[in-house]
Chain A
Amino acid sequence: MKKMIASIALGTLLVAGFLFAQDNEPTELAGELEPSIFSVETPSFFF
Protein backbone atom coordinates (compact mmCIF):
# COMPACT_ATOMS: atom_id res chain seq x y z
CA MET A 1 0.00 0.00 0.00
CA LYS A 2 2.80 2.41 1.04
CA LYS A 3 4.66 1.61 -2.17
CA MET A 4 1.57 2.31 -4.22
CA ILE A 5 1.02 5.70 -2.56
CA ALA A 6 4.69 6.56 -3.06
CA SER A 7 4.51 5.60 -6.75
CA ILE A 8 1.37 7.69 -7.26
CA ALA A 9 2.96 10.68 -5.52
CA LEU A 10 6.13 10.34 -7.59
CA GLY A 11 4.12 9.96 -10.78
CA THR A 12 2.05 13.06 -9.98
CA LEU A 13 5.13 15.15 -9.34
CA LEU A 14 6.73 13.91 -12.56
CA VAL A 15 3.64 14.78 -14.58
CA ALA A 16 3.44 18.18 -12.85
CA GLY A 17 7.09 18.77 -13.64
CA PHE A 18 6.59 17.76 -17.25
CA LEU A 19 3.55 20.00 -17.63
CA PHE A 20 5.47 22.83 -16.00
CA ALA A 21 8.29 22.35 -18.48
CA GLN A 22 5.80 22.44 -21.35
CA ASP A 23 3.99 25.52 -20.07
CA ASN A 24 7.08 27.52 -19.26
CA GLU A 25 9.57 27.54 -22.05
CA PRO A 26 12.99 28.21 -20.55
CA THR A 27 13.64 30.96 -23.05
CA GLU A 28 10.72 32.90 -21.53
CA LEU A 29 12.58 33.46 -18.34
CA ALA A 30 16.15 34.63 -18.61
CA GLY A 31 18.31 36.38 -21.13
CA GLU A 32 17.15 39.96 -21.44
CA LEU A 33 19.66 42.65 -20.65
CA GLU A 34 18.80 46.09 -19.30
CA PRO A 35 20.96 49.13 -20.10
CA SER A 36 23.56 50.17 -17.54
CA ILE A 37 22.56 52.45 -14.68
CA PHE A 38 25.83 54.37 -14.95
CA SER A 39 25.61 55.38 -18.60
CA VAL A 40 24.46 58.77 -19.77
CA GLU A 41 25.46 61.38 -22.32
CA THR A 42 24.96 65.06 -22.92
CA PRO A 43 21.82 66.26 -24.67
CA SER A 44 21.84 65.70 -28.45
CA PHE A 45 20.23 67.71 -31.22
CA PHE A 46 19.52 66.16 -34.58
CA PHE A 47 18.30 69.34 -36.24
Chain B
Amino acid sequence: MIEIGSFIKLQRTKREMTQGQLAKGIVSLSYLSKIENKKTEASSEIIQLLCTRLGIQLKDGFDANIQKKCKEWYNMLFEVNDKEEIISTYKELQAVMDENLTDSLLMFEIHKIRYYLIIGKYNEALTKISDLNEMSGSFDNLHQYYWYKFRGNYNSANGDFEQAIILYKSAEERLNQIEVEEKEIADLQYIISITHSKLRNTLESIEYAEKALDIYMKEYYFMRCAQCHIVLGISYRRIKMYDKAIKNYNLARHLGELNKDKQVIQLTNLNLGYLHSARGGSKEAIHNYLEVVNDLEVDLNARLTSLTALIKEYYTINNVEKTKQMIEKGFELFEQININNNDTYRIHYYVLKTYNYAINKSNSKFENLVINELIPYLKEHKDYANLVVYANMLGNHFEELSKYKDSVKYYKLANITYDELVNL
Protein backbone atom coordinates (compact mmCIF):
# COMPACT_ATOMS: atom_id res chain seq x y z
CA MET B 1 0.00 0.00 0.00
CA ILE B 2 1.26 3.48 -0.83
CA GLU B 3 2.14 5.58 2.22
CA ILE B 4 -0.92 7.73 2.83
CA GLY B 5 1.21 10.80 3.59
CA SER B 6 3.04 10.55 0.25
CA PHE B 7 -0.27 9.98 -1.51
CA ILE B 8 -1.89 13.06 0.01
CA LYS B 9 1.14 15.20 -0.84
CA LEU B 10 1.16 13.87 -4.41
CA GLN B 11 -2.54 14.56 -4.92
CA ARG B 12 -2.37 18.00 -3.24
CA THR B 13 0.54 19.20 -5.40
CA LYS B 14 -1.13 17.77 -8.50
CA ARG B 15 -4.19 19.92 -7.73
CA GLU B 16 -1.93 22.90 -7.02
CA MET B 17 -3.38 23.29 -3.51
CA THR B 18 -1.36 24.76 -0.68
CA GLN B 19 -1.09 22.91 2.64
CA GLY B 20 -3.16 25.73 4.16
CA GLN B 21 -6.01 25.21 1.69
CA LEU B 22 -6.13 21.49 2.32
CA ALA B 23 -5.75 21.67 6.09
CA LYS B 24 -8.26 24.48 6.70
CA GLY B 25 -10.90 23.37 9.20
CA ILE B 26 -9.61 19.79 9.31
CA VAL B 27 -6.16 19.83 10.92
CA SER B 28 -3.48 22.38 11.70
CA LEU B 29 -0.97 23.19 9.00
CA SER B 30 1.90 21.73 10.99
CA TYR B 31 -0.06 18.50 11.56
CA LEU B 32 -0.73 18.16 7.83
CA SER B 33 2.95 18.70 7.20
CA LYS B 34 3.73 15.87 9.64
CA ILE B 35 1.22 13.57 7.89
CA GLU B 36 2.68 14.31 4.47
CA ASN B 37 6.22 13.75 5.68
CA LYS B 38 5.28 10.50 7.40
CA LYS B 39 6.18 11.84 10.84
CA THR B 40 2.81 10.91 12.29
CA GLU B 41 -0.05 8.55 11.57
CA ALA B 42 -3.36 10.32 11.24
CA SER B 43 -6.68 8.78 12.25
CA SER B 44 -8.88 7.27 9.53
CA GLU B 45 -11.46 10.08 10.08
CA ILE B 46 -8.85 12.75 9.27
CA ILE B 47 -7.65 10.83 6.23
CA GLN B 48 -11.26 10.52 5.05
CA LEU B 49 -11.81 14.29 5.44
CA LEU B 50 -8.57 15.17 3.61
CA CYS B 51 -9.39 12.77 0.76
CA THR B 52 -12.92 14.17 0.46
CA ARG B 53 -11.48 17.68 0.12
CA LEU B 54 -9.10 16.40 -2.54
CA GLY B 55 -12.06 14.82 -4.34
CA ILE B 56 -10.75 11.29 -3.81
CA GLN B 57 -12.94 8.30 -3.01
CA LEU B 58 -11.82 5.47 -0.78
CA LYS B 59 -13.34 2.36 -2.29
CA ASP B 60 -12.90 -1.27 -1.30
CA GLY B 61 -12.55 -4.13 -3.78
CA PHE B 62 -11.78 -1.76 -6.60
CA ASP B 63 -8.08 -2.51 -6.96
CA ALA B 64 -8.23 -5.67 -9.07
CA ASN B 65 -9.79 -3.83 -12.01
CA ILE B 66 -7.37 -0.93 -11.81
CA GLN B 67 -4.44 -3.31 -11.50
CA LYS B 68 -5.54 -5.15 -14.65
CA LYS B 69 -5.92 -1.92 -16.60
CA CYS B 70 -2.54 -0.67 -15.35
CA LYS B 71 -0.85 -3.89 -16.41
CA GLU B 72 -2.29 -3.55 -19.90
CA TRP B 73 -0.92 -0.03 -20.06
CA TYR B 74 2.53 -1.03 -18.73
CA ASN B 75 2.73 -3.67 -21.47
CA MET B 76 2.03 -0.99 -24.06
CA LEU B 77 5.07 1.08 -23.08
CA PHE B 78 7.26 0.16 -26.04
CA GLU B 79 8.03 2.35 -29.02
CA VAL B 80 6.56 -0.08 -31.56
CA ASN B 81 3.07 0.45 -30.12
CA ASP B 82 0.62 3.11 -31.21
CA LYS B 83 1.46 6.30 -29.33
CA GLU B 84 -2.10 7.66 -29.55
CA GLU B 85 -3.40 4.53 -27.86
CA ILE B 86 -0.72 4.73 -25.16
CA ILE B 87 -1.66 8.36 -24.47
CA SER B 88 -5.42 7.78 -24.39
CA THR B 89 -5.07 4.78 -22.04
CA TYR B 90 -2.82 6.90 -19.84
CA LYS B 91 -5.46 9.64 -19.65
CA GLU B 92 -8.17 7.13 -18.70
CA LEU B 93 -6.00 5.69 -15.95
CA GLN B 94 -4.97 9.10 -14.69
CA ALA B 95 -8.63 10.07 -14.31
CA VAL B 96 -9.26 6.92 -12.23
CA MET B 97 -6.14 7.54 -10.11
CA ASP B 98 -7.18 11.13 -9.45
CA GLU B 99 -10.41 10.05 -7.84
CA ASN B 100 -9.44 6.89 -6.02
CA LEU B 101 -6.90 5.75 -3.49
CA THR B 102 -5.49 2.50 -4.82
CA ASP B 103 -2.48 0.26 -4.26
CA SER B 104 -1.56 0.68 -7.91
CA LEU B 105 -0.92 4.41 -7.67
CA LEU B 106 2.77 4.35 -6.82
CA MET B 107 3.58 1.81 -9.53
CA PHE B 108 1.57 3.92 -11.97
CA GLU B 109 3.57 7.01 -11.00
CA ILE B 110 6.87 5.13 -11.48
CA HIS B 111 5.76 3.89 -14.92
CA LYS B 112 5.15 7.48 -15.94
CA ILE B 113 8.94 7.86 -16.27
CA ARG B 114 8.90 5.19 -18.96
CA TYR B 115 5.74 6.65 -20.50
CA TYR B 116 7.32 10.08 -20.95
CA LEU B 117 10.41 8.50 -22.52
CA ILE B 118 8.32 6.51 -25.00
CA ILE B 119 6.38 9.58 -26.12
CA GLY B 120 9.63 11.55 -26.36
CA LYS B 121 9.03 13.96 -23.46
CA TYR B 122 12.41 13.63 -21.76
CA ASN B 123 12.05 16.74 -19.60
CA GLU B 124 8.79 15.48 -18.14
CA ALA B 125 10.50 12.15 -17.42
CA LEU B 126 13.20 13.99 -15.49
CA THR B 127 10.63 16.02 -13.55
CA LYS B 128 8.82 12.81 -12.62
CA ILE B 129 12.10 11.29 -11.42
CA SER B 130 12.71 14.36 -9.19
CA ASP B 131 9.15 14.23 -7.81
CA LEU B 132 9.38 10.54 -6.97
CA ASN B 133 12.87 10.79 -5.55
CA GLU B 134 11.51 12.30 -2.34
CA MET B 135 9.35 9.27 -1.62
CA SER B 136 11.70 6.61 -2.98
CA GLY B 137 12.59 5.66 0.60
CA SER B 138 9.17 4.04 0.99
CA PHE B 139 9.38 1.93 -2.20
CA ASP B 140 9.11 -1.84 -1.82
CA ASN B 141 11.38 -4.16 -3.83
CA LEU B 142 9.12 -4.28 -6.89
CA HIS B 143 8.82 -0.49 -6.94
CA GLN B 144 12.57 -0.23 -6.57
CA TYR B 145 13.14 -2.60 -9.47
CA TYR B 146 11.17 -0.41 -11.90
CA TRP B 147 12.47 2.78 -10.28
CA TYR B 148 16.06 1.75 -11.12
CA LYS B 149 15.18 0.30 -14.50
CA PHE B 150 13.31 3.38 -15.74
CA ARG B 151 15.93 5.78 -14.41
CA GLY B 152 18.41 3.67 -16.34
CA ASN B 153 16.16 4.06 -19.40
CA TYR B 154 16.24 7.83 -18.93
CA ASN B 155 20.05 7.81 -18.84
CA SER B 156 20.21 5.50 -21.86
CA ALA B 157 17.91 7.81 -23.80
CA ASN B 158 20.21 10.70 -22.94
CA GLY B 159 23.36 8.83 -23.90
CA ASP B 160 24.77 8.55 -20.36
CA PHE B 161 25.49 4.83 -20.54
CA GLU B 162 27.89 4.76 -17.58
CA GLN B 163 25.16 5.97 -15.24
CA ALA B 164 22.58 3.77 -17.00
CA ILE B 165 24.53 0.56 -16.38
CA ILE B 166 24.85 1.35 -12.64
CA LEU B 167 21.07 1.75 -12.42
CA TYR B 168 20.35 -1.39 -14.46
CA LYS B 169 22.64 -3.40 -12.22
CA SER B 170 20.76 -2.05 -9.18
CA ALA B 171 17.52 -3.20 -10.83
CA GLU B 172 19.09 -6.60 -11.51
CA GLU B 173 20.02 -6.97 -7.84
CA ARG B 174 16.33 -6.62 -6.94
CA LEU B 175 15.33 -9.49 -9.26
CA ASN B 176 15.88 -12.26 -6.72
CA GLN B 177 13.65 -10.48 -4.21
CA ILE B 178 10.65 -10.06 -6.50
CA GLU B 179 8.43 -12.09 -8.77
CA VAL B 180 8.26 -10.92 -12.36
CA GLU B 181 7.56 -12.66 -15.64
CA GLU B 182 10.40 -14.25 -17.60
CA LYS B 183 9.97 -11.75 -20.43
CA GLU B 184 10.61 -8.91 -17.93
CA ILE B 185 13.86 -10.54 -16.83
CA ALA B 186 14.83 -11.00 -20.49
CA ASP B 187 14.01 -7.36 -21.21
CA LEU B 188 16.38 -6.18 -18.46
CA GLN B 189 19.10 -8.56 -19.65
CA TYR B 190 18.64 -7.34 -23.23
CA ILE B 191 18.88 -3.71 -22.10
CA ILE B 192 22.02 -4.47 -20.05
CA SER B 193 23.54 -6.19 -23.08
CA ILE B 194 22.86 -3.15 -25.30
CA THR B 195 24.26 -0.79 -22.65
CA HIS B 196 27.45 -2.86 -22.30
CA SER B 197 27.76 -2.80 -26.07
CA LYS B 198 27.47 1.00 -26.05
CA LEU B 199 30.21 1.08 -23.42
CA ARG B 200 32.25 -1.42 -25.46
CA ASN B 201 32.28 -3.97 -22.66
CA THR B 202 32.19 -6.70 -25.26
CA LEU B 203 32.31 -9.84 -23.13
CA GLU B 204 29.62 -8.60 -20.76
CA SER B 205 27.48 -7.67 -23.75
CA ILE B 206 27.78 -11.23 -25.11
CA GLU B 207 26.97 -12.75 -21.71
CA TYR B 208 23.75 -10.77 -21.28
CA ALA B 209 22.64 -11.08 -24.91
CA GLU B 210 22.91 -14.87 -24.62
CA LYS B 211 20.96 -14.93 -21.35
CA ALA B 212 18.18 -12.82 -22.89
CA LEU B 213 18.22 -14.91 -26.08
CA ASP B 214 17.61 -18.11 -24.09
CA ILE B 215 14.41 -16.69 -22.64
CA TYR B 216 13.19 -15.04 -25.85
CA MET B 217 13.62 -18.32 -27.75
CA LYS B 218 11.54 -20.18 -25.20
CA GLU B 219 8.86 -17.48 -25.28
CA TYR B 220 8.80 -17.14 -29.10
CA TYR B 221 9.77 -13.48 -29.13
CA PHE B 222 11.50 -13.81 -32.46
CA MET B 223 12.15 -10.16 -33.14
CA ARG B 224 13.85 -9.78 -29.79
CA CYS B 225 15.84 -12.92 -30.69
CA ALA B 226 16.88 -11.16 -33.89
CA GLN B 227 17.90 -8.08 -31.93
CA CYS B 228 19.98 -10.21 -29.57
CA HIS B 229 21.68 -11.77 -32.61
CA ILE B 230 22.52 -8.28 -33.87
CA VAL B 231 24.14 -7.36 -30.54
CA LEU B 232 26.05 -10.65 -30.63
CA GLY B 233 27.14 -9.91 -34.20
CA ILE B 234 28.48 -6.50 -33.15
CA SER B 235 30.28 -7.99 -30.13
CA TYR B 236 31.90 -10.85 -32.02
CA ARG B 237 33.01 -8.43 -34.75
CA ARG B 238 34.70 -6.31 -32.10
CA ILE B 239 36.75 -9.24 -30.84
CA LYS B 240 37.46 -10.18 -34.46
CA MET B 241 35.51 -13.46 -34.39
CA TYR B 242 34.15 -12.66 -37.83
CA ASP B 243 32.60 -16.06 -38.65
CA LYS B 244 30.54 -16.00 -35.45
CA ALA B 245 29.57 -12.38 -36.12
CA ILE B 246 28.39 -13.21 -39.67
CA LYS B 247 26.49 -16.27 -38.40
CA ASN B 248 24.62 -14.10 -35.89
CA TYR B 249 23.86 -11.43 -38.49
CA ASN B 250 22.52 -14.08 -40.86
CA LEU B 251 20.25 -15.44 -38.13
CA ALA B 252 19.00 -11.93 -37.38
CA ARG B 253 18.30 -11.27 -41.04
CA HIS B 254 16.53 -14.61 -41.45
CA LEU B 255 14.23 -13.86 -38.51
CA GLY B 256 13.67 -10.34 -39.85
CA GLU B 257 12.66 -11.74 -43.24
CA LEU B 258 10.31 -14.33 -41.70
CA ASN B 259 8.59 -11.58 -39.75
CA LYS B 260 8.87 -9.06 -42.61
CA ASP B 261 10.52 -6.61 -40.21
CA LYS B 262 12.34 -4.01 -42.29
CA GLN B 263 14.00 -2.37 -39.27
CA VAL B 264 15.67 -5.61 -38.23
CA ILE B 265 16.70 -6.53 -41.79
CA GLN B 266 18.27 -3.15 -42.46
CA LEU B 267 19.91 -2.88 -39.06
CA THR B 268 21.54 -6.21 -39.90
CA ASN B 269 22.66 -4.86 -43.29
CA LEU B 270 24.11 -1.76 -41.66
CA ASN B 271 26.16 -3.73 -39.14
CA LEU B 272 27.18 -6.34 -41.70
CA GLY B 273 28.35 -3.50 -43.94
CA TYR B 274 30.46 -2.24 -41.08
CA LEU B 275 31.97 -5.68 -40.59
CA HIS B 276 32.99 -5.82 -44.26
CA SER B 277 34.35 -2.29 -44.07
CA ALA B 278 36.48 -3.19 -41.04
CA ARG B 279 37.93 -6.12 -42.97
CA GLY B 280 38.70 -3.96 -45.99
CA GLY B 281 35.83 -5.31 -48.09
CA SER B 282 34.65 -1.97 -49.47
CA LYS B 283 32.57 -3.47 -52.26
CA GLU B 284 30.45 -5.63 -49.91
CA ALA B 285 30.26 -2.82 -47.35
CA ILE B 286 28.96 -0.36 -49.95
CA HIS B 287 26.41 -2.92 -51.16
CA ASN B 288 25.05 -3.38 -47.61
CA TYR B 289 25.02 0.32 -46.80
CA LEU B 290 23.19 1.17 -50.02
CA GLU B 291 20.43 -1.31 -49.15
CA VAL B 292 19.76 0.66 -45.97
CA VAL B 293 20.11 4.14 -47.44
CA ASN B 294 17.69 3.39 -50.27
CA ASP B 295 15.01 1.87 -48.03
CA LEU B 296 12.53 4.61 -47.20
CA GLU B 297 10.75 2.48 -44.58
CA VAL B 298 13.79 2.33 -42.33
CA ASP B 299 14.03 4.74 -39.41
CA LEU B 300 16.01 7.89 -39.98
CA ASN B 301 18.78 7.14 -37.49
CA ALA B 302 19.68 3.86 -39.24
CA ARG B 303 19.55 5.54 -42.66
CA LEU B 304 21.77 8.40 -41.54
CA THR B 305 24.23 6.06 -39.82
CA SER B 306 24.42 4.07 -43.04
CA LEU B 307 24.77 7.16 -45.16
CA THR B 308 27.64 8.58 -43.11
CA ALA B 309 29.31 5.15 -43.16
CA LEU B 310 28.92 5.14 -46.95
CA ILE B 311 30.49 8.59 -47.22
CA LYS B 312 33.47 7.41 -45.14
CA GLU B 313 33.78 4.32 -47.34
CA TYR B 314 33.73 6.26 -50.64
CA TYR B 315 36.11 8.84 -49.17
CA THR B 316 38.54 6.11 -48.06
CA ILE B 317 38.64 4.57 -51.54
CA ASN B 318 39.00 8.07 -53.06
CA ASN B 319 35.76 7.98 -55.00
CA VAL B 320 35.25 11.75 -54.98
CA GLU B 321 32.14 11.82 -57.15
CA LYS B 322 30.23 9.26 -55.06
CA THR B 323 31.36 10.88 -51.82
CA LYS B 324 29.92 14.21 -53.00
CA GLN B 325 26.71 12.52 -54.17
CA MET B 326 26.15 10.92 -50.78
CA ILE B 327 26.94 14.14 -48.91
CA GLU B 328 24.31 15.88 -51.01
CA LYS B 329 21.82 13.10 -50.24
CA GLY B 330 22.62 13.52 -46.55
CA PHE B 331 21.90 17.24 -46.62
CA GLU B 332 18.61 16.49 -48.40
CA LEU B 333 17.63 14.13 -45.56
CA PHE B 334 18.52 16.81 -43.04
CA GLU B 335 16.01 19.18 -44.62
CA GLN B 336 13.33 17.12 -42.79
CA ILE B 337 15.00 17.54 -39.40
CA ASN B 338 15.31 20.53 -37.13
CA ILE B 339 18.85 19.92 -35.93
CA ASN B 340 18.57 22.48 -33.11
CA ASN B 341 15.76 20.54 -31.47
CA ASN B 342 17.15 17.09 -32.02
CA ASP B 343 20.42 15.96 -30.52
CA THR B 344 20.04 12.40 -31.83
CA TYR B 345 21.12 13.33 -35.32
CA ARG B 346 23.69 16.02 -34.47
CA ILE B 347 26.67 13.70 -34.83
CA HIS B 348 25.54 12.76 -38.35
CA TYR B 349 25.24 16.41 -39.26
CA TYR B 350 28.77 17.12 -38.06
CA VAL B 351 30.08 14.13 -40.00
CA LEU B 352 28.37 15.32 -43.19
CA LYS B 353 29.81 18.81 -42.83
CA THR B 354 33.26 17.46 -41.96
CA TYR B 355 33.47 15.29 -45.07
CA ASN B 356 31.94 18.05 -47.17
CA TYR B 357 34.76 20.42 -46.19
CA ALA B 358 37.38 17.66 -46.46
CA ILE B 359 36.36 16.57 -49.97
CA ASN B 360 36.16 20.18 -51.19
CA LYS B 361 39.55 20.98 -49.60
CA SER B 362 38.02 23.84 -47.58
CA ASN B 363 40.89 23.56 -45.12
CA SER B 364 40.15 26.39 -42.70
CA LYS B 365 36.43 25.51 -42.50
CA PHE B 366 37.34 21.86 -41.94
CA GLU B 367 39.80 22.73 -39.16
CA ASN B 368 37.40 25.17 -37.55
CA LEU B 369 34.53 22.69 -37.54
CA VAL B 370 36.50 19.72 -36.25
CA ILE B 371 38.52 21.63 -33.63
CA ASN B 372 35.86 23.98 -32.31
CA GLU B 373 32.65 21.99 -32.71
CA LEU B 374 33.04 18.31 -33.45
CA ILE B 375 35.83 17.40 -31.01
CA PRO B 376 34.27 19.33 -28.07
CA TYR B 377 30.91 17.68 -28.87
CA LEU B 378 32.45 14.20 -28.88
CA LYS B 379 34.33 14.89 -25.65
CA GLU B 380 31.16 16.13 -23.97
CA HIS B 381 29.25 13.02 -25.05
CA LYS B 382 32.14 10.70 -24.17
CA ASP B 383 31.96 9.33 -27.71
CA TYR B 384 35.50 7.99 -27.63
CA ALA B 385 35.22 5.89 -30.78
CA ASN B 386 34.33 8.84 -32.98
CA LEU B 387 36.81 11.03 -31.12
CA VAL B 388 39.62 8.68 -32.14
CA VAL B 389 38.39 8.74 -35.75
CA TYR B 390 38.18 12.53 -36.09
CA ALA B 391 41.29 13.39 -34.02
CA ASN B 392 43.13 10.99 -36.27
CA MET B 393 41.60 12.51 -39.41
CA LEU B 394 42.67 15.96 -38.21
CA GLY B 395 46.18 14.71 -37.39
CA ASN B 396 46.41 13.26 -40.87
CA HIS B 397 45.14 16.50 -42.39
CA PHE B 398 47.79 18.59 -40.62
CA GLU B 399 50.47 16.09 -41.53
CA GLU B 400 49.60 16.44 -45.23
CA LEU B 401 49.92 20.22 -44.84
CA SER B 402 53.32 19.70 -43.16
CA LYS B 403 52.00 21.28 -39.96
CA TYR B 404 53.72 18.71 -37.81
CA LYS B 405 53.20 20.38 -34.45
CA ASP B 406 49.41 20.43 -34.92
CA SER B 407 49.54 16.98 -36.43
CA VAL B 408 51.27 15.57 -33.34
CA LYS B 409 48.74 17.27 -31.07
CA TYR B 410 45.80 15.45 -32.66
CA TYR B 411 47.53 12.12 -33.17
CA LYS B 412 48.31 12.31 -29.47
CA LEU B 413 44.66 13.04 -28.66
CA ALA B 414 43.66 10.02 -30.79
CA ASN B 415 46.24 7.91 -28.97
CA ILE B 416 45.12 8.90 -25.48
CA THR B 417 41.45 8.47 -26.40
CA TYR B 418 42.14 5.04 -27.86
CA ASP B 419 43.68 4.00 -24.53
CA GLU B 420 40.56 5.24 -22.81
CA LEU B 421 38.42 3.28 -25.24
CA VAL B 422 40.14 -0.04 -24.69
CA ASN B 423 40.51 0.64 -20.94
CA LEU B 424 44.27 0.18 -20.98
Q: Quick one: which of A20, A28, A37, A44 contacts B190, CB cutoff 8 A?
A: A37
Determine the residue in chain A with the shortest Cβ distance to B395: A17
Determine the residue in chain A with the shortest Cβ distance to B309: A31
CB distance from A44 to the nearest CB of B (A): 5
Q: Is the interface of B mostly helix, strand, loop or mixed?
A: helix
Tell whether, in the assembled complex, residue B258 and residue A46 are in contact, meaning their CB atoms are under 8 Å apart: yes
Determine the residue in chain A with the shortest Cβ distance to B79: A38
Tell whether, in the assembled complex, residue B312 and residue A31 are in contact, meaning their CB atoms are under 8 Å apart: yes
A14 CA / B259 CA spacing, docked (Å): 52
A37 CA / B366 CA spacing, docked (Å): 35
Total chain A interface residues with beta-carbon distance under 8 A: 31
A13 CA / B316 CA spacing, docked (Å): 24
In the assembled complex, which residues on chain B have CB atoms less than 8 Å from the CB atom of A13?
Answer: 408, 411-412
A2 CA / B194 CA spacing, docked (Å): 51
In the assembled complex, which residues on chain B have CB atoms less than 8 Å from the CB atom of A17?
Answer: 395, 399, 407-408, 411-412, 414-415
In the assembled complex, which residues on chain A have CB atoms less than 8 Å from the CB atom of B156?
Answer: 37
Interface string of A12-45 (1 = CB under 8 A from B): 0110111011001111111111111111111111
In the assembled complex, which residues on chain A have CB atoms less than 8 Å from the CB atom of B22?
Answer: none
Is B358 positioned at the interface, with any CB of A under 8 Å from its CB? no
In the assembled complex, which residues on chain B have CB atoms less than 8 Å from the CB atom of A35?
Answer: 194, 227, 230-231, 264, 267
Tell whether, in the assembled complex, residue A43 and residue B220 are in contact, meaning their CB atoms are under 8 Å apart: yes
Tell whether, in the assembled complex, residue A20 and residue B385 are in contact, meaning their CB atoms are under 8 Å apart: no
Is A10 positioned at the interface, with any CB of B under 8 Å from its CB? yes
Is B62 positioned at the interface, with any CB of A under 8 Å from its CB? no
Tell whether, in the assembled complex, residue B80 and residue A27 are in contact, meaning their CB atoms are under 8 Å apart: no
In the assembled complex, which residues on chain A have CB atoms less than 8 Å from the CB atom of B415?
Answer: 16-17, 20
CB distance from A20 to the nearest CB of B (A): 5
Tell whether, in the assembled complex, residue A32 and residue B389 are in contact, meaning their CB atoms are under 8 Å apart: no
Tell whether, in the assembled complex, residue B219 and residue A27 are in contact, meaning their CB atoms are under 8 Å apart: no
A6 CA / B222 CA spacing, docked (Å): 61
Total chain B interface residues with beta-carbon distance under 8 A: 63
Most buried by B among A14, A26, A35, A36: A35
CB distance from B253 to the nearest CB of A (A): 13
In the assembled complex, which residues on chain B have CB atoms less than 8 Å from the CB atom of A14?
Answer: 399, 404, 407-408, 411
Most buried by A among B117, B190, B198, B408: B408
Tell whether, in the assembled complex, residue A29 and residue B388 are in contact, meaning their CB atoms are under 8 Å apart: yes
In the assembled complex, which residues on chain A have CB atoms less than 8 Å from the CB atom of B414?
Answer: 17, 20-21
Known: A17-B407, A29-B388. A34 touches B412 (CB 8 A): no
Q: Quick one: which of A33, A37, A38, A46 contacts B302, CB cutoff 8 A?
A: A33
CB distance from B227 to the nearest CB of A (A): 4
Task: Give residues in A with beta carbon < 8 Å to B.
Answer: 10, 13-14, 16-18, 20-21, 24-46
* 9 A-B residue pairs with CB within 8 Å: A10-B408, A13-B408, A24-B418, A32-B270, A34-B198, A37-B156, A38-B153, A39-B79, A43-B221
What 3 pairs across the A-B complex have the smallest Cβ distances? A17-B411, A30-B385, A35-B227
Task: Give residues in B with beta carbon < 8 Å to A.
Answer: 78-80, 117-118, 153, 156, 187, 190-191, 194-195, 197-198, 219-224, 227, 230-231, 234, 237, 258-259, 263-264, 267, 270-271, 274, 277-278, 301-302, 305, 308-309, 312-313, 316, 383, 385-386, 388-389, 392-393, 395-396, 399, 404-405, 407-408, 411-412, 414-415, 418, 421
